[in-house]
Amino acid sequence: MSSRCCFPFSSVAHQTPPLTEGVQPVSKEYMQLVPEQASNTGRKGCEMASGGVLSSEDSPDVWSLLECGQLEVGEHTDLDLLMPNGFLINVRCHSDSTLALLKQEVFSEAKRLPLFELLLSASDYIFFTIGSNGEREELYDETKSIFSLRLFVPLLGLVEPEGNREEKELAQNIGIAIAHPLSEVESKLAGENISYRLDLFRVMEESVATRGVDGYNHYAFPEELSSECDADIPPQVNAKIEVADLYVEVWYRSRKDELEEVDENCVCVKIRKVVRVKAPDLITNAVAELTAQHKLVINESPSDFLLQIAGRKCFLTKDIKLTSFEYVRSSFENYRIPKFLLRRKDIVMKEFPAPRPVLKPSWVRAYESRLSTANDCCRKRCSLWELDENVKMRVHSASHITVSDIDRIYVKAAVYHGTNLIVNKESEWVSPSNPRWSNEHTGIGWVNIRLFDWNCELLQGKFTLYLWPFSKHCNDLLYPLGQTGSNDNRDTARIEVEFYEHGSIVEFPSFEHIGAYVNKLDARGCGVAPPAASFAPDSPQVVQLMEIARHLDGEKLTDPQQHHLWKMREYVAEYMPDLLPLLAECAFIWNARDTFTRLYELLVRWGPIRPETALELLDFKYPDREIREFAVKCLDEALDNDRLQLEYVAEYMPDLLPLLAECAFIWNARDTFTRLYELLVRWGPIRPETALELLDFKYPDREIREFAVKCLDEALDNDRLQLYVMPLVQALKYEPWGKCELARMLLKRALCSYRIGHILFWLLRAELGQIGDRCQELPNLYVRFALLVEAYCRGNFEHLGAMLRQVDMVVRLTDLSKMVKQLKDKESATKRLQKELMAHIEVMQHMSSPLDPLDSLGALRLESCKVIGSAKLPLRLTWANPEPLARLYTETHQIIFKNGDDLRQDMLTLQVMRIMDALWKSRDLDFCLSIYEVLPMGKNVGMIKVVQNCSTLFEIQCAAKQLASTFNMESSLINKWIRNHSDDSKTYLEAVDRFTASCAGYCVATYVLGIKDRHQDNIMLAKDGRLFHIDFGHFLGHYKKKLGINRDRVPFVLTDHFLCVIAKGKPNFRDSHEHKKFKRLCTDAYLMLHERARLFISLFTMMLCMGLPELQKMEDVDFVKRTLCAETDARQAGASFQKIFEEAFTGAWSTKTNWFFHSVKHL
């Protein structure tokens, strides 16, 4: 007998059986039975009697057959089962049979009866019965037994639940979105994931009910990104506006043309002096100018219009300065003219109607019923603190172990909190033949499990654990950094362990229990920390604390430092909250109730942490749920909330929380960790980077993680959160359980912002492709991510159709790419591609771009679609841009579809560069970076956005016919190319300015990230002078070798060709003023990144779980720590970078040599 619930998911409509002569369905009177109509007449039943169709006239006789009142159920009971097709089937069943088994048996019998073809599948129906009040009661939990139902009448019916057809269609579409039937995912759900799924549904319901659905506040309204409201424009940008005489263009078209989507008759006005002008003011000025210059009669008032960026589905509506919008600021920085189109609000807002109410599936009620039954379990419960025994575990046996040339094996077991060892044991050495042991763990494999389950209940009883193989980077038998849970491959070595059974459910102490314990400690005067206000900023204790803060860069704290950090926890929580990762890594906190409860309490009032701290806390080093949830909360707050807020740490230095959380002694004693929990309640706000740090694998404590999530949620608005969705998705892998604050926060923010939702959907779908490709069975992590996608699709079902069109396009392109790879030459492959695209053209066009929802893909331009002649034969696809005034932005959208390359490393590199760019821009430095979109969409499948109007350096060389003499290539070649593409000296100087800025940005970024393999085909140059890098197949210092020789000998590419452009073609460019200015610019950019070293260290640490070939161990992350000089001050870091700059400058000859051999190879 199965205990699995069958839920109604199908798109088949229920049909009422046709009426035939003498045969009718059961009347409605029967289904609306009331107690007064029933008698106590008994009846006889059989094991499974054939039923008959009842007519209306039969109804009174039926009533006389029913026994009413609370039935006394014996070992077997007789029931009448009313089928949806009108048949009444008599059933005799065991009282312990579940509804699921009963449904299965009834449908087996119904197959032998007439009209069976009118029935849907069994999963499309739910049971109902008649209650004592005469009302129909629907029964959703099919795990319940007949005995537990306490039926009022011996009658059950099957009925299709309300909304079943819509639910089946939605479930089918969600299955397409996750690339796996939802019913199969449902079949894998057990207690934890059932609770997780229900929790996500409730978060979804709440988010949908509270999100904006009207006007500009609509969650899907595409508002342009903006910086700080009403921030003054940087002086250097203002100077560019004045020198280049920059202005704003505003275009207008009639209502008739707008309704007909015609833009040929648009007229334009130029608006100058816009530095302090706000968006509404610009509209007013434009309407006035249009009326005066073009003699237009505009009947609408300025308030009836809004600004759309020409050629993009993006609007400016906020009442802030124009220069605070990213598009306007970036345009002026790059000597470009911002171009807008006046759009009528009433027409635009029709595209953003209020969404329909969310459909509540029947499984929600089934889960609620099942969980409430489980919660009402009469099994005795007790708190962990009521136990006197130590943790006891016995390893019973092992199997599937193959060992050769070894006589004995042994098991090693340990208890960790994050990476902090609490206690370890070793078993005796035994023979590998039929081993039976007394303790745990072998050198053949490893496995990590949590002592408390998802419901905070202590593990008890027997478990079979499937081992993971050791990686080549693991040097120890204990591997606390590995993922939690058994190997999904059931063919690996396994051990059977048993945890001591205590005779009752043992729960982790509640927060109220922890608070009461802390109050007892305070009453006894035990472990009370001095209040934050009792320390002066220059006191020895605070000075020592500042020295400890330097350990946030990765150096391990000594035991005295850990205990001092714990003593100063109140000060840290308030004034140095970004030290939370250090605190969460202190093993002694998690070794004792007194310490970790203190930490949990403190998280509630912990100060805001920076984004890099929050990212670090999402690493696998920090598994605690509270700390991870706190990191997510902090990451959700404003990025620039850098105010330094334990009593001194909690109040004045809350960003020290990571340091405090890493202190081992805090977790070793109850008195210390309880105090930490207590302090978390009033810990100062921590910066987003501190919160991110607390979501690292080092911080497993639930309270600390929840505190970190809370800080993230408050610190990051939707615009800034977009930068961190990728690492936060990886941080989900470090969460001990699916039901966590981080998943809730991501779902909430995705449903309240369509852009965040778009990013989250595709990142999760790419992870599903990676995870699902590795296993035949669905791993728990796959189920976790799939349920998160399901919840998002349910809350965003209004746009699910558009998402599915994108998914369908990706699937079709994947098949097409496989097809063209079978052809020998590029020309034949291109012809076959165009032919196949023509056959599917209707489903391949007129949709939003999967790479960016602000880009609309119009008609597919078949003649421009081709196969690129590289190793993997990627597809280059071109669509028309259907947005109005596309000619002023870009007339086409071009995308490269790749099948066969892992694009996750490129995506990670570009995302980190995007964060660098945001940090630089926050300091008023725009390096004109060309950061294009890259999106993995599954296993070795993905898309890349094409940057148009540019060429690779190799193409420039070929065009100059200097291919054969690359080694001695003229240094002025690139400068001449830029000059030839400039209309006049003014545009040339603007292009040189862009080249200088972009060259500086990429020199610093490629050095910090260790980007290698920089040949001419991996560096591109736009016609407006912007230099940028592509193809990031090697990073973090992993270089390519040729014949065992390292070809990448310089820290970054800086050749004479670049310096010549920077010096505007001067012959003595090496000694020019421009060269010195360029060196200062690079140093300034580097030092800004040095200041936020923790952010980048946290980002890459969190990405270890991605499984990238060049990012697999902490030594890879240490590369970034070295390049950013994370353990030195700014002065030393600056001096170090200047040495690096000179090394790149003097080593340019090796780059020229590499370019020569690259040219020869591609002759």
The residues, any chain, with a CB within 8 Å of residue 1051's CB and separated by 6 or more, are 1007, 1140, 1143, 1144
pLDDT digits (tens, 9 = 90+) for 1031-1088: 888 888 887 765 555 566 778 888 888 899 999 888 787 778 888 899 999 999 999 9
Are 561 and 622 within 8 A, CB to CB?
no
Model confidence band, residue 258 (pLDDT cutoffs 50, 70, 90): very high
Say which residue, 939 or 475, is predicted with more confidence.
939
- 600-630 pLDDT, tens per residue? 888 888 877 776 677 677 665 676 778 877 8
How confident is the model over 137-177, as pLDDT tens digits?
778 777 777 877 778 888 888 888 776 678 888 888 899 89
The more confident residue out of 659 and 372 is: 659
> How large is the average pLDDT for residues 875-882?
95
Which whole number is the average pLDDT over 1021-1039?
89
pLDDT in tens, 1121-1158: 999 998 788 888 999 999 999 888 876 656 666 666 65
Q: 117: buried, middle or exposed (CB in 10 Å: 19+, 13-18, 0-12)?
A: exposed
CA angle 686/687/689 to nearest 5° reads: 125
Q: How confident is the model at residue 631 (pLDDT cuts 50, 70, 90)?
A: confident
Query: pLDDT band for position 1001 (50/70/90)?
Result: very high
CATH class of the domain whose range is 388-501? mainly beta
pLDDT for 924-978, tens place per residue? 888 999 999 999 988 889 999 999 989 888 888 887 765 445 445 678 889 999 9
Note the pLDDT tens digit of each residue in 794-826. Answer: 999 888 889 999 999 999 999 999 988 888 788
Is the pLDDT at 1160 greater than 70, yes or no? no
**677-705 pLDDT tens trace:** 888 888 888 888 888 888 887 788 888 88
pLDDT of residue 10: 27
Mean pLDDT on 363-392: 75
* Domain ranges, ordered by start, for the chain: 28-161, 162-210+356-378+718-795, 235-351, 388-501, 511-716, 799-941, 950-1161
Residue 1099 backbone phi and psi in degrees, to 5: -60, -50
CA distance readout (Å), 1148 to 994, 1011, 1048, 1056, 1058: 22, 16, 11, 7, 11
Query: Is pLDDT of 903 > 60?
Result: yes
Is pLDDT above 70 for 5? no
Token look-up 């909190």 returns 417
CA–CA dist 558, 464 (Å, integer): 38
What CATH number was assigned to the domain covering residues 799-941? 3.30.1010.10
Long-range CB contacts (within 8 A, 24+) of 901-904: 901/872, 901/940, 901/942, 902/936, 902/940, 902/1108, 903/934, 903/935, 903/936, 903/942, 903/944, 904/766, 904/770, 904/936, 904/1106, 904/1108
Please give the pLDDT value at position 968.
57
Q: What percent of the chain has pLDDT over 90?
A: 26
Judged against a pLDDT cut of 60, whether residue 123 lies above it is answered with yes
Burial of 1116 from C-beta contacts in 10 A (0-12 / 13-18 / 19+): buried
Q: What is the pLDDT of residue 697?
A: 79
Q: Which residue has the higher pLDDT, 228 or 67?
A: 228
The predicted pLDDT at position 773 comes to: 64
Looking at residue 41, its pLDDT comes to 32
pLDDT top residue among 988 and 561: 988
pLDDT over 50 (residue 439) = no
Give the amino acid at 465: L
28-161 — its CATH code? 3.10.20.90
The amino acid present at 101, given as its one-letter code, is: L
644 has a pLDDT exceeding 60 = no
Residues paired with 915 in a beta bridge? none
Q: What is the pLDDT of residue 128?
A: 86
Looking at mean pLDDT, say which of 501-515, 549-563, 765-779, 1085-1099 comes out highest: 1085-1099
The tokens for 949 are: 């109007």
Give me the pLDDT at residue 73, please: 52
Q: What is the pLDDT of residue 961?
A: 66
Cα angle: 605, vertex 611, 612; to 5 degrees = 110
Q: Which CATH number fits domain 235-351: 3.20.20.70, 3.10.20.90, 3.40.50.720, 3.40.50.620?
A: 3.10.20.90
pLDDT tens figures, 963-985: 445 445 678 889 999 999 998 88
User: What pLDDT shows up at residue 645?
Assistant: 30
Phi, psi angle pair for 788, to nearest 5° = -70, -40
Asked if residue 876 has pLDDT above 50, the reply is: yes
Average pLDDT for 633-649:
46
Q: Most confidently modeled of 254-263, 358-367, 545-554, 636-645?
A: 254-263
| Domain pair 235-351 / 388-501, same fold | no
Q: For the domain with range 950-1161, which CATH number is right: 3.40.50.720, 1.10.3720.10, 3.30.470.10, 1.10.1070.11?
A: 1.10.1070.11
- Which is the CATH superfamily of the domain at 162-210+356-378+718-795? Phosphatidylinositol 3-kinase, accessory domain (PIK) (1.25.40.70)
Per-residue pLDDT at 535 exceeds 90: no
Length of the chain equals 1163
pLDDT at 528: 66
Provide the pLDDT for residue 40.
Answer: 32
Mean pLDDT of all residues in the chain?
Answer: 80
Lowest mean per-residue pLDDT among 130-134, 186-190, 741-745: 130-134
Interatomic CA distance for residues 388 and 400, integer angstroms: 37
CB burial of 46-85 (b: ≥16 within 10 Å; e: otherwise) equals eebbebebbeeeebeebbebbbbeebebeeebbbbbbbbb
Q: b/e string for 182-198 if b means 16 or more Cβ within 10 A?
A: bbebbeebeebbbbbbb
pLDDT at residue 779 in the model: 83
| 940 backbone φψ class: left, alpha, beta (φ>0; ψ -120 to 50) | left
The answer to which of 16-25, 342-351, 425-434, 1006-1015 has the lowest mean pLDDT is 16-25
| Angle value at C-alpha 219, between 216 and 220, nearest 5 degrees | 85
Out of 45-49, 236-240, 872-876, the most confident range is 872-876
Would you state the pLDDT for residue 743?
94
- Pick from 235, 124, 330: which is nearest to 994 by CA? 330
